[in-house]
Structure 1
Amino acid sequence: MVYSVSTLTSSLRLTNYLIDNRARLDNAVIENASKKHADMGLALGAQTGTTTSFRTEFSQLESQLDTNKQLVTRLEVMNTALDNVHTGSSDFRSDLLALQSNSDSLKTASNLAYTELSKLTNALNTNVSGVYVFGGLNTGTAPVTDFKNGPEAQIEAVFNNYFSPTNIGDAATASIPVSGDANGKDWETFLQSTGFNDLFDAGWTPLWSSATDGKMTTTIEAGVTTDGSGSANEKAFGQLAKGLAIVAVFGKLDLSVEAEKFITNQAVNSLNEGVDGTIAVEAQNGAIKTNVERTNTSIIAKQDVLNMRIIDLENIDENRAAIELSLAQTQLEATYAITAKIQNLNIMKYL
């Protein structure tokens, strides 16, 4: 029996070999470069859905981690601001007590109090990328009004109304007694009055603050939320403002020695309460930050596990891939060589 093969049949067969070997080489090149299967669907089959699910979960965790890192940044900025507030107020309190033995001490302290009020305002108006961290839910607006742009004038108005006809700046303020006036026109009654104290309590908003009592909440993991902002309406801040404002506004008046001592003591009492309250807010804020950081550690651990499972499914054996590439190159070169020889066949050479 004699077998015969035409040059056309050989050429077509070699063309198919060329296409197959070229595709094999292309896949080998991709796998060597990416270290992953060139065709995930073909390589993984039914497990393709599993790796897709793992990648989706990994991306969700990455997004959550980014959100949590932004929250940690805000909490760190809040802690810095709170630390500056309670440290500055503590130092001012110490300076105020140290000045008590000097004449006109309250007038000297008055200038310092204005500076501290400005620092308090700046701290509570702290923002991170346009987010005012002490705005409560109203994080798009600076929450606290500058002392000289409203609160100071209101304090003076309450004083003038209470002690009328004596007004701020009158020399007659030196004759206001500390206590015991039959009509209640004394410092003790005034500083304990509802009209004065409401400026730092019930009237804190909107006189001082445009913040909301409610705070922004942030989801830090599935089913878990936490405070994502602070509020300038914390009682501690009102007490700090009260202690500083008493010294700032009334310290510049003509006062008796007894009145200076009484006002100083009242300011110190308010500052004590405000400093302790601010430290408590800072501690609470620090606890939230610790909880978020602990959650972030857990998220990173979950990502590591997912990444290992994705690698096990998607990554290739690099040694095998290198051998496949070498074989594909060799076979393709051999196919090209054979094709060239067949194309050179000519029956006229054998006649």
Structure 2
Amino acid sequence: MTNFISTQYLSSSLQLSILKLQTQLATAQNESTTGQYADLGLQLGSQAGQEISLQNENGMLQTYTNTNAAVATSLSTTSTALDTLRTNAQNTINSLTEWSGETDSGSQLQTLGSSGLQSLIATANTSVSGQYVFGGINSSVAPMTTYTGTATQTAVQNAFSTYLAGLSPPATAATVTATQMQTFLASPSLTNLFQGAGWSANWSSASSTNISSNISPTETIESTTNANQPGFQQLAQGYALLSEFTGTTINSAALQVVANQASSLINQGLTSLTTTEATIGSAQQSVTDANNNMSAQMTILQTQIGNLDNVNAYQTATEVSSLTTQIQTAYSLTAALQKLSLVDYL
């Protein structure tokens, strides 16, 4: 039996081969460009589950890293604000140390206390992206209320006037003795305004519970502090004493008592702030360490993922070159076959 093969049949066969080669070339070129297999499922087979697990773990670590950026910003802002409070407190102590009741007027102390209170409240109400860094979990509300012209100031002033009126005989700012002033400054009627329920009612809207943040799959930290910390209360009391119980109407003996007590309170506040700053610094270091550890883990995971789904660049380039040559050859053969004719052999 004799088989007859026409030039048309040969040409059609070559065209089918060319289409197949072109498909293979497109895939190879895509893999060469992306560096990854075009069909991971086909390539990985039973290892596809491992690929998904690695990708999920890497994505989780990347999410922690992204959220840690916001935590780091909040902690940095808090640290800067605490540093401002601490610097202002130290400057006030320096001014009190230099102040002399014999030669300086009480109005200087009053100005010192007033500006100190304003700075304390403004700094305590520092926010980042609408969240107050000293609010604890109540971060949507400004932690400290305005002082001047409010019920808070009235409560402090009334405590003093009530005390003076209750003395026998009643006293005034000009006649109150140093001992009487010392007794008043230590009395619950005044100190309770700066502590516990009095602090929450008169000064602070902050929560004493701080925000906790998950900074890695295995670590949670307190990422905020709050304005109910002792340092804020001590500073507020110290500045308020200077603002309310100095000035030109207080006699010099009582004035010295106020200056001494305010200096003691602000010193205590300074110590408390230093402790709080150390806590925030520790939290910042924890975030940095967590990010560094997760970065190292992600590098390992990405290497493992690459080993599964990255193509061999040399082999892919060779395949592209080979397929291109085969297609060019097929085109040449097709063109040659189309030129063949029986007439050429007659």
The bucket for the TM-score relative to the shorter chain is over 0.9
Q: 1:102 to 1:305 in 2, by over 3 A?
A: farther
Q: CA deviation at 1:348?
A: 5.3
TM superposition score normalised by structure 1? 0.91
Q: Which deviations, in whole Å up to 9, do the C-alpha atoms of 1:22-73 show, x marking residues without a partner?
A: 1111012112211222221222222222222212211110110111122122
Q: CA deviation at 1:115?
A: 1.2
Are 1:317 and 2:312 an aligned pair? yes
Give ranges in structure 1 of 5+ residues lacking alignment. 180-185
The answer to which of 65-74 and 299-308 deviates more is 65-74
Partner of 1:183: none
**CA contact 2:101–2:252 (8 Å) conserved in 1:** no
Q: CA deviation at 1:178?
A: 1.8
Which amino acid in structure 2 is aligned with residue 196 of structure 1? Answer: L
Partner of 1:215: 210
Distance 1:317 1:99 in 2: 78
Trace 1:191-202 onto structure 2 (pairs within 5 A): 191-202=185-196
Are 1:83 and 2:78 an aligned pair? no
Are 1:130 and 2:130 an aligned pair? yes
Q: Which deviations, in whole Å up to 9, do the C-alpha atoms of 1:107-126 show, x marking residues without a partner?
A: 21211221111111121111
SS of the aligned residue for 1:87 comes to: helix
Percent identity, please: 30
Trace 1:27-38 onto structure 2 (pairs within 5 A): 27-38=27-38
Q: CA deviation at 1:297?
A: 1.0
Distance 1:210 1:111 in 2: 26
Are 1:205 and 2:200 an aligned pair? yes
Between the two proteins, the alignment pairs up a number of residues equal to 341
SS of the aligned residue for 2:215 comes to: strand
Which amino acid in structure 2 is aligned with residue 124 of structure 1? Answer: A
Partner of 1:244: 239
SS of the aligned residue for 1:140 comes to: coil
The answer to which of 261-270 and 101-110 deviates more is 101-110
Trace 1:288-307 onto structure 2 (pairs within 5 A): 288-307=283-302
Q: CA deviation at 1:102?
A: 4.6
**CA contact 1:137–1:216 (8 Å) conserved in 2:** yes
Which amino acid in structure 2 is aligned with residue 341 of structure 1? Answer: A
The answer to which of 7-16 and 55-64 deviates more is 7-16
Q: CA deviation at 1:209?
A: 1.1
Partner of 2:323: 328
Distance 1:211 1:348 in 2: 102
SS of the aligned residue for 1:220 comes to: strand
Q: CA deviation at 1:137?
A: 0.7
Q: Which deviations, in whole Å up to 9, do the C-alpha atoms of 1:301-348 show, x marking residues without a partner?
A: 100100111121122221111111111111112222222333444445
Partner of 2:157: 156
Which amino acid in structure 1 is aligned with residue 84 of structure 2? Answer: N
**CA contact 1:81–1:126 (8 Å) conserved in 2:** yes
Q: Which deviations, in whole Å up to 9, do the C-alpha atoms of 1:237-290 show, x marking residues without a partner?
A: 100111111001111251222111111111111111111011111111111111
Distance 1:274 1:31 in 2: 64
SS of the aligned residue for 2:226 comes to: coil
Are 1:110 and 2:105 an aligned pair? no
Q: Which deviations, in whole Å up to 9, do the C-alpha atoms of 1:90-144 show, x marking residues without a partner?
A: 1101101211255344321211221111111121111111111111111112211
Distance 2:340 2:156 in 1: 110
The answer to which of 223-232 and 209-218 deviates more is 223-232
SS of the aligned residue for 1:302 comes to: helix
Q: Which deviations, in whole Å up to 9, do the C-alpha atoms of 1:144-167 show, x marking residues without a partner?
A: 11221523222112222322389x
SS of the aligned residue for 1:214 comes to: coil
SS of the aligned residue for 1:174 comes to: coil
Distance 2:323 2:290 in 1: 49
Distance 2:215 2:313 in 1: 39
The answer to which of 341-350 and 231-240 deviates more is 341-350
**CA contact 1:89–1:271 (8 Å) conserved in 2:** yes
Give ranges in structure 2 of 5+ residues lacking alignment. none
Q: 1:15 to 1:49 in 2, by over 3 A?
A: farther
Partner of 2:51: 51
TM superposition score normalised by structure 2? 0.92
Query: In angstroms, what is the RMSD of aligned CA positions?
Result: 2.0
Which amino acid in structure 1 is aligned with residue 227 of structure 2? Answer: A
The answer to which of 328-337 and 240-249 deviates more is 328-337
